[in-house]
Amino acid sequence: MKSRRSRYGVLRRWIPLFLLGTVSTIALAACPPNEADGSLLTSGKLQLAWRPLLQGDTPVATTAIPMARHFALAVQLCEGRMASQASLKRIDATMPEHRHGMNYQPRISPLGDGRFRVEGLMFHMSGRWQIEFEVQNGNDVSRLLHDVQIR
């Protein structure tokens, strides 16, 4: 009897945590994207939201990426209210005025529901950087560009 009650006690403690987990995944995969998903780019029906994450996955505004420090990206692809079936194929960044790109090769991991995580970016100089997202949807390839100013 005693042991059963304690087992129930454990369950009671875990239920809210479990619920919280589902709620937050739904929130992350929410389409259309909102401010919490970062900056928004569109190409036709496709919407791409991206958000930089610093060490320890601390989110920062796309205007506040620090210079010469590695960061990751959370990317969300949507089509209206639905998660997009398209996939993020490539991501790169260049300094058009300096005619060079990054010193590091980012890697993309698909997380499902139109979500992707990109690791290993670094903007090693101050100035204008142009990020390019290459998204493939069937035979369609779209390139979405975003300029950021690094100080």
Partner 1 sequence: MTCHAFCMTFRFDSSRISHLACVFLLACTWGAQAGEADFSAEEIARIASHGPWPMPSMRDPGNRVSGNPAAIRLGYRLFHDPGLAANRKISCATCHQPERGFQDGLATARGLQHGIRNTPGLWNVGQQRWFGWDGGHDNLWSASLRPILDPAEMGGDAKRTASLLRGQSELDCLYRHAFGKAPDAGDDALLANVAKAIAAWQETLVSPATRFDALREALLRGDGAAVANHAPALRRGLRLFLGRGQCATCHAGPLFSNGEFGDIGVPFFVKPEGVDPGRQGGIKRVLANPYNLLGRHNDDATRNNATATRHLRPEHRNFGEFKVPSLRNLKYTAPYMHNGSLATLRDVVHHYSQIDEDRLHSDGERILKPLHLTESEIDDLVSFLEALSPETPMVIPGPPARIDSCRGFARRSQGKADAHAASVTSHVSRNDR
Residues at the contact surface with partner 1, assessed by CB under 8 A: 55, 67-68, 70, 97-107, 119-120, 122, 124-127, 151
The smaller minimum CB distance to partner 1, of residues 46 and 148, is found at: 148
Q: What's the min distance (Å) between Cβ of 119 and partner 1?
A: 7
> Dihedral, CA atoms, 37, 38, 41, 42, nearest 10 degrees?
20
Q: What's the min distance (Å) between Cβ of 21 and partner 1?
A: 22
The smaller minimum CB distance to partner 1, of residues 126 and 136, is found at: 126
Q: What's the min distance (Å) between Cβ of 100 and partner 1?
A: 7
The smaller minimum CB distance to partner 1, of residues 50 and 123, is found at: 123
Q: What's the min distance (Å) between Cβ of 103 and partner 1?
A: 6
The span from the CA of 72 to the CA of 63, in Å, is 14
The smaller minimum CB distance to partner 1, of residues 36 and 61, is found at: 61
Please name every residue paired with 118 in a beta bridge, in sequence order, or none if there are none.
Answer: 73, 108
Residue 17: exposed, middle, or buried by beta-carbon count in 10 A (0-12, 13-18, 19+)? exposed
The smaller minimum CB distance to partner 1, of residues 32 and 127, is found at: 127
The span from the CA of 75 to the CA of 72, in Å, is 10
* Cβ atoms < 10 Å from Cβ of 5: 8
Q: What's the min distance (Å) between Cβ of 99 and partner 1?
A: 5
Among residues 115, 91, 88, 89, the alpha carbon closest in space to that of 104 is found at 91
